[in-house]
A and B are shown apart, each in its own frame.
Chain A
Amino acid sequence: MDWSFIGHYAPFFVTGALMTLTISVFGIALAIVVGAVCAAIETARIPVLRQIVRVYVEISRNTPLLVQLYFLYFGLPKLGFVWSAEACAIIGLAFLGGSYMAEAMRAGVEAVPVVQRENAVMLGFSRLQTVVHVVVPQAASTALPGIVANVIFLIKESSVVSAIALADVMYMTKDLIGMYYSTYESLFLLIVTYLIILLPISIVGSWLERKFNYERL
């Protein structure tokens, strides 16, 4: 292991990490919005929209992110839609993450006991009050571990964006290995970078899960 190489090229990984984070933050934020909308449509059993959501979820979960990105980046321009690589990466991550988030949130809503809603009805709550004050807080508590796991999964999955020439940490690594054959050093930097990004998220996630687990003893 060449430590001077690591010292010299570490700043490359800071730049790459910023790209990874930018794509991830926007992609995941969008995925959470898409997931919430889809989960709402499914749990409210809205006809037609509900079937559309099912089709979306199945396509999204059963195709690789790489293929989704190729479709957005190379396929859509043929149909006249031209996007920047960044936009493709963010939309791709949101497209994949949306279905995972939707499933986690739907499971959360479905785990709220029926009697909780019936209590709300008997106390005179309107439908909106029931959703806001009874269903969502309890569903969020159940869905949170799944949502945190999805966030971590999507940040890791963002490494695929290097395939459409976005300079994230994965791209930097492949570049350095290609130029200097510095396989060990580059992979070491790559792993350390991912750990620096993901460990704090994992720790904060666990803390949130404990804080919002109302049934804990």
Chain B
Amino acid sequence: MTEQQFRGLEVRDLVKKYPKAERNVFDGISFDVPKGQVLVIVGPSGSGKSTLLRTVAGLEPIQGGTIALDGDVLETGKPGTEKAGRSKRPSALRTRIGMVFQSYDLFPNKTVLGNITMAPVLVQKRKKADVEAEAMALLERVGLADRADAKPHELSGGQRQRVAICRALILHPEVLLLDEITAALDPEMVREVLDVVLDLADDGQTMLIVTHEMQFARAVADRIVMIEDGRIVERSTDPDEFFAHPKTERAREFLHTFEFERRRKHEDGEPIREFEDVD
């Protein structure tokens, strides 16, 4: 029996512990992100969403399970590595996964263009002229071509985050990890960043996204995973169905926290539930 080679990111039975912690952060969590698809992870604060992304990125060691990309194992968990720093993943494997963080930290001493071209020139030894041309094309795509020579401190948070996306994209990562990339932004800048992400999704960029923007999650996701306390509460390949009719009580409760309503009262204390015409 021949098995078709899986294309995309595979996380199998991932175990993650912190030193001295009583129980594991993850106790054998598994999920896939097929090539070209977008998996959105939602869940309450402290549920382990960011930690999950960081283990996939190789920024935190894992104590069990495997992380594989197109069948190539990036990381195998080893017990007793709780205190180890970053995993020893070789640079060539590392750059197959790109990451954008919540804090929109660019390298402050470089221009916008310098930030984007640094890694391909330094790490991949590509020709500077080629890299700059590609960087300009990326900036064009995110609407920042006119800011190529600006310094990071001259940009808004939303603009910096779009540059950070370009900086990750220029290495052609097979999977892009986005860790709450709009959580630290002013509301009016969230849109410009998320539009870029939607555009990438349309283009077939494989992505693993952690976000608190539920409307956005529903629009961008091909798959949804909700986690809490390091466990998968619910998973779905139909985001519309998940948001409209979550199967578990816990998911229903969680999604309800994003809905608001005011319980206005009549003078006699009876709540008003509907709009009423007042003459």
Contacts and interface: CB of A to CB of B under 8 A. Distances in A.
Interface of A: 113, 115-116, 118-119, 121-126, 129, 133-134, 137-138, 141, 214-217
Given A124-B119, A124-B171, A125-B119, A214 B91 contact: no
28 contacts: A115-B105, A116-B105, A116-B107, A118-B59, A119-B101, A119-B107, A119-B164, A119-B167, A121-B58, A121-B86, A121-B94, A122-B57, A122-B94, A122-B98, A122-B99, A124-B91, A124-B124, A125-B119, A125-B122, A126-B123, A133-B118, A134-B107, A138-B108, A138-B109, A214-B151, A214-B153, A216-B153, A217-B153
A77 B97 CA distance: 62
Given A115-B105, A124-B119, 4 more contacts: A133-B118, A138-B109, A214-B152, A215-B153
A216 B153 CA distance: 7
Contacts, number: 71
Contacts of A141: 108-109
B37 to A, nearest CB: 21
B109 A115 contact: no
B97 to A, nearest CB: 8
B109 A123 contact: no
B153 A118 contact: no
A199 B94 CA distance: 50
B55 interface: no
A174 B184 CA distance: 61
B277 to A, nearest CB: 52
Given A119-B105, A133-B118, A124 B152 contact: no
A138 B167 CA distance: 19
B225 to A, nearest CB: 22
A119 B153 CA distance: 18
A133 B122 contact: yes
Contact of B123 (A113, A124, A134): A124
Interface residues of B, number: 29
B159 interface: no
B51 interface: no
Contacts of A215: 108, 153
Contacts of B30: none
B94 A124 contact: yes
Interface in B84-129: 86, 91-92, 94-95, 97-99, 101, 103, 105, 107-109, 118-119, 122-124
B190 interface: no
Dominant SS at the A interface?
helix
A148 to B, nearest CB: 18
A214 B95 CA distance: 27
B168 interface: yes
B138 to A, nearest CB: 14
Contact of A115 (B92, B103, B123, B153): B103
A123 B118 contact: yes
B240 to A, nearest CB: 32
Contacts of A216: 153
Given A134-B107, A137-B109, A214-B109, A118 B123 contact: no
Nearest to A215: B153
Contacts of B124: 124
Nearest to B96: A124
A135 to B, nearest CB: 11
A134 B118 CA distance: 10
Q: Which 4 residue pairs are nearest across A and B when measured between Cβ atoms?
A: A214-B108, A123-B119, A124-B95, A124-B123
B115 to A, nearest CB: 9
A119 B118 CA distance: 12
Contacts of B99: 118-119, 122
Nearest to A123: B119
Contact of B95 (A123, A134, A217): A123
B59 A129 contact: no
B201 to A, nearest CB: 20
A129 to B, nearest CB: 6
Contacts of B57: 122
B171 A118 contact: no
Contacts of A133: 107, 118, 122
Contacts of B98: 122
A137 B108 CA distance: 9
A83 B12 CA distance: 68
Contacts of A125: 91, 119, 122-123
